[in-house]
A and B are shown apart, each in its own frame.
Chain A
């Protein structure tokens, strides 16, 4: 079982948090902080598994994480998950994000956290791995987005226009924090599939 999936940046700002077990919102924030604290002080070239974390888990649980440019992707899993499998799952997740957002960068995830959630929902459901095939995930996500667009139809047009205008005004929107190396392949890990 996956107990939680967390994404935060190098400064510990949460970008996505998905808990598959109930915690109070304070505990959730504490967990995010604690996890960041644990993960951020690790060097680049050390292993991606981490035991401990007082709040979440216990001895049966592990933190499995990957660090891509400015973002940390952390999965908290119990012993029924394969460690290397989860590492690959993170890779699949990131690659999927990359496909869906076309060269994903942190800003995409900041502004479209709902979309990230929707993509994640096609991969992991209720703490269990639902789908690991990237193409299948993208197909389903695209199909749903298409439905959304068709529903918006004419009524959605003005809103879309406004948001386009809003985006144009902002110098921030250009992908100035592009994390080009998000596509780095896993070193020494033969492809999982």
Chain B
């Protein structure tokens, strides 16, 4: 054996290793390809050997060759072999090769599943790490599905090195297997608070990537991220979070308000430019999302603009670039503040760096106004002249056109000027954008009727001088403008001064060298001109002109008849015959002009580009039904052995099927294009022939010879654009003068002196009147076009599948399938053992959850509401059966794993329900950590926190300081105010020490507890959900019940214990008598009647909160649970055992969870037929409508969907997913509530509870 190894390694000495290969390639510079092909032959030999070291060496070399562009896909199987080596050295080589060469269509990938799983659970962390790294590059939907659970387990690995890799790779898994997102999300969220900064950063990274594509699903994480932002010091994490907030703010303006302050602080304090830049960026996003007109925010804008100016003025080109980039974002909403930096931006246009010049150009786009458009364009035209390199010049050209044509030519006051600019732009040699200029010319000429006379004159001159433009036709995109010129001259020929001359110009023999599609337009429009000439000569008894024209046509057209271009040929021969016929008629002195011009009669109207798409589908037309019977697919299926494949899970396959279809379609389209391109008989769309010419590489390098065109183009009658600038200036001055006169007159009349400000200020936009009254024809749209704007969504975007509601509780069917081997195999396979060990050691909780579930199942049978459960079970059985039939040894069993219940069963730790109650967080200024830490901090603090909840809500005005943390940074002015307020608060506290649990009657206090009610018109009375549980002379308990978002069968009861006496309370034990329906969750190992210890002691006068999780079966009925609290009262001398009985009242309301709902979704929900309706009337309700809504929102966990005057629709969802919809109307003191829900009993009870709430007040 040892001999063999030695022999093997001696053999290896003479193999080429990677270094030798590289060296060899470098030494064979002349015949590199030949050398490499001999190397590849050697590698093939090496791969045939049994020695894994030799193989690994070969694979290593292949990886290098792959980088050089050689095909190594043939070695895929050998790569898998090397991957599966037990030695880390070779394994790493294998995985590296796989990550470089494998992709979704590599078929050997499916062989790797087990190997990867084995490596993932390897005791060596680097094996796992290498496998994760490799997998991240080649994960496929199948791998993702099969390994999702293994990777999820790794997210809780003991080593942070593995944890962070596992967390990161989850993003790839989500992309490939979207079903895994929901089950994995809770754990991912947990990782945001991982002790290791690397893991934390990875989690932030993944969530940011997810949220970037579907931000609205991640809004509920905002409080958590906010906390991270204020606590983290890692700039990478901060940048990611801040970027994420930038994506979230557009969805939730209230979030923006909360962010401004800490972000501004960061801007002031940070020294890292990258962080500063991202902060500025997000502040900009916030400002965009907020409606303007808030006094505070103009300061923020100023701050941003000022910081950006510093960046732009920096000598570092990178900062300059980014400054300009961010500036362009501000520009969209606050153009005024950017416009004041025009000087700086124009200066950047002269920068030597092209990237910066391009950015500056972008900014110009938004800076133009009617007033400065001409000036800016003039400057740009100068740059066009100076610019080196066609790309930048082309960019300038497109920008000029963009700037001028933006928002429907809004800023153009003088179209004659614009046409001249376009004509001047045609002088650009070698531009690619001839068609752009052409389309602008056409657009303006068609839509601005008043300009046609001028445009036609200009175009006629262009046509006359066409030979100058087309001097070097081969690579000249500019001849496209002739297309436009010819069409305009033809179509609007009635405005031509000298149609004969133009006709002559259009029929010059040189035209035949133009591209085909332009010739075609020439020919067609020559015919139009011909008609015009005939018509103008009509009535003229001397027929020589018409005769001459016909003769000209007949002489010149044959050139076109011989054209190689079909289109030209066809048109030319048609028109030639027509003209010949006309000539005959003319010779007989027949009047033909009328008939000939009838050929081209009628006005063309512009049509909006999207018009076709927006044509509504007529009623009764179903585009998806088959017109004929669909072709039967049975033929192809018959060929396959049916028995095996028919039982595949239908649920998964359907979703994927459609996707495949889309991909397939795209592929076919591509294939068709290919085929067409290769098919010489296929007529391609005409411009392509020319484009091909321009795109050939190397064209850019041909030195451009500047031909001085200025002289010939200044043909009399062709005004230069500069003239217009002067003219415009004069015109405006005149107008201004006139206006002043008028003003003076007015002032004289009024004599009030108020008018003074008129004359000194700069002229405003409205003052500038267009030179001609221009009627811009709008583009036509079909009647009742659909107002949809979703035209641009890419159906192939993988992120579309990840648009998943993450707040919905998990359904059983969604759990990630856990692999379990068949019993026979399980004992033997070491992998399996390790798997099992891993699970057992890492997550004892899991077992706990499993047991519980089993218990539940047993008891289910006795329950009234067992039906639904049974159905689920049946489903499970079905899927198990199916899996059993499959060929493979794996059985996907969706039952085993459920982390969520176990997570939620740790009562006193931070509670996700509370954190995710976004509305609550957003509307209540105090930082969430205050609320979360309630159980931990001393009771006094808790009390003050509660105080802040009600007190902090007072400042609903946006410019008031919002929370304790921000307060510290506020200028002292505010501090004083706040101090006062605190004093007041303290006084209040003294007065009513325990007020926070009751509806306090404080008049001045407002509360926006539930933020779903929009801007408040009037202060709301403060509210609290805590109600009294029990009280005696020692202790008082108040409680609140919240549904658990993660689990449909759990509610969390928060109980606040308050010590009322002067003694120390300890050894408190909380116990509830379980009913069949509701049970207190007790820790593992305790019996069903054991009591739970309250995790704290209470010194005198102190209160603290504890949370208990209850499992609930049916939620349609309210119920009461009896319970007891036992505790020891300890005084200095003695201690007594005391007891307090209570009744926990589970209202149906407590099973509802505030869930935001969009109005369109709401409407859809109402339309669905399976909702039962019910209604209730409340009499004598004497409160403003928004108070009423706020109460319903707050006490009954609803959110307002829409509110119109005295009518509002509201929505909530139960923990088990029942939808509850309300329509609340008020008139006078009567409130009527119409409600719909899919569970009538639940609805009835909720309505009763609402009624009760209002009867109490």
Contact = CB atoms under 8 A, between A and B. Distances in A.
Interface of A: 1, 14, 16-18, 20, 22, 25-26, 28-29, 42-43, 45-51, 80, 82-85, 87-88, 110-114, 117-118, 121, 125-133, 136, 140, 143-144, 147-148, 151-152, 155-159, 161-163, 166-167, 170, 172, 187-193
B41 interface: no
Interface string B754-787: 0000000000000000000000000000000000
Contacts of B172: 126
Interface in B85-104: 87-89, 92-93, 96, 100, 103-104
Contact of A128 (B71, B89, B205, B278): B205
Interface in B1106-1156: none
B210 to A, nearest CB: 11
A85 B201 CA distance: 14
Given A114-B93, A147-B126, A159 B9 contact: yes
Contacts of A43: 352-353
Nearest to A136: B198
B540 to A, nearest CB: 58
Contacts of B356: 46-47
Q: List the 3 closest A-B pairs by CB distance, nearest first.
A: A126-B136, A84-B274, A47-B317
B12 A159 contact: yes
A117 B96 CA distance: 8
A85 B66 CA distance: 30
Interface in B1-54: 5-6, 8-10, 12-14, 17-20, 22-23, 26
B208 A193 contact: no
Contacts of B103: 22
A6 to B, nearest CB: 10
Contacts of B168: 125-126, 128, 130
Contact of B88 (A83, A110, A151): A151
Nearest to B16: A166
A126 B137 contact: yes
B69 A28 contact: yes
24 contacts: A25-B71, A45-B352, A46-B353, A47-B356, A49-B321, A80-B208, A80-B212, A80-B243, A82-B277, A84-B277, A110-B26, A113-B63, A128-B202, A129-B201, A129-B236, A131-B198, A147-B88, A147-B89, A155-B6, A159-B13, A163-B17, A166-B19, A188-B316, A189-B318
Interface of B: 5-6, 8-10, 12-14, 17-20, 22-23, 26, 60, 63-64, 66-71, 87-89, 92-93, 96, 100, 103-104, 124, 126, 129-130, 132-133, 136-137, 161, 164-165, 168-169, 171-172, 198, 201-202, 205-206, 208-209, 212, 235-236, 239, 243, 271-274, 277-278, 314-322, 352-356, 358
Contacts, number: 186
Contact of A190 (B22, B124, B273, B354): B273
Contacts of B320: 47
Nearest to B8: A155
Contacts of B8: 155
Contacts of A191: 272
Contacts of A87: 318
A155 B9 contact: yes
Contact of B87 (A151, A170, A188): A151
Contacts of A193: 235
A48 B209 contact: no
A129 B202 CA distance: 8
A172 B348 CA distance: 47
A166 B171 contact: no
A51 to B, nearest CB: 7
B842 to A, nearest CB: 22
B69 A158 contact: no
A47 B274 contact: no
B136 A187 contact: no
A14 B22 CA distance: 13
The interface residues of chain A, by DSSP majority, are classed as mixed
Contacts of B93: 114
A192 B235 contact: yes
Nearest to A126: B136
B92 A144 contact: yes
Nearest to B14: A162
B57 to A, nearest CB: 9
Given A125-B132, A125-B136, A83 B67 contact: no
A85 B60 contact: no
A8 B816 CA distance: 43
Given A47-B356, A188-B315, A190-B271, A80 B10 contact: no
Contacts of A118: 92, 96
A189 B209 CA distance: 26
Contacts of A143: 126
A84 B208 CA distance: 18
Contacts of A83: 274, 277, 318, 322
Contact of B355 (A49, A84, A111, A147): A49
A43 B357 CA distance: 14
B209 A158 contact: no
Q: Which of A121, A127, A144, A147 has the most CB of B within 10 A?
A: A121
Contacts of B104: 22
Contacts of A129: 201, 205, 236
B744 to A, nearest CB: 53
A25 B14 CA distance: 31
A46 B352 contact: yes
Given A166-B19, A191-B272, 11 more contacts: A16-B67, A22-B103, A43-B352, A47-B353, A47-B355, A111-B22, A114-B96, A121-B96, A128-B205, A152-B89, A162-B13
Contacts of B5: 155
Contact of A148 (B88, B208, B355): B88
Contact of B9 (A29, A49, A151, A156): A156
Given A82-B239, A85-B236, A158-B13, A131 B126 contact: no
Nearest to A17: B67
B317 A172 contact: no
A52 to B, nearest CB: 9
B19 A111 contact: yes
Contacts of A46: 317, 352-356
Given A48-B318, A172-B26, A85 B274 contact: yes
Contacts of A158: 6, 9-10, 12-13
Given A121-B133, A147-B126, A190-B272, A130 B316 contact: no
A161 B14 CA distance: 12
Contacts of B321: 47, 49
Contacts of A187: 316
A76 B76 CA distance: 27
B1182 to A, nearest CB: 53
Q: Which of A14, A18, A114, A118 has the most CB of B within 10 A?
A: A114
Contacts of A29: 69
A113 B353 contact: no
Contacts of A162: 13-14
Contacts of B68: 14
B1051 to A, nearest CB: 38
B67 A14 contact: yes
B165 A170 contact: no
B68 to A, nearest CB: 7
Contacts of B161: 140
Contacts of B353: 43, 46-47
Contacts of A144: 88, 92, 126
Q: Which of B8, B71, B201 has the most CB of A within 10 A?
A: B201
Contact of A114 (B13, B20, B63, B212): B63
B32 to A, nearest CB: 11
B861 to A, nearest CB: 47
B273 A20 contact: no
A20 B168 CA distance: 14
Given A125-B133, A155-B6, A84 B209 contact: no
A121 B169 CA distance: 13
A140 B130 CA distance: 12
Nearest to A130: B168
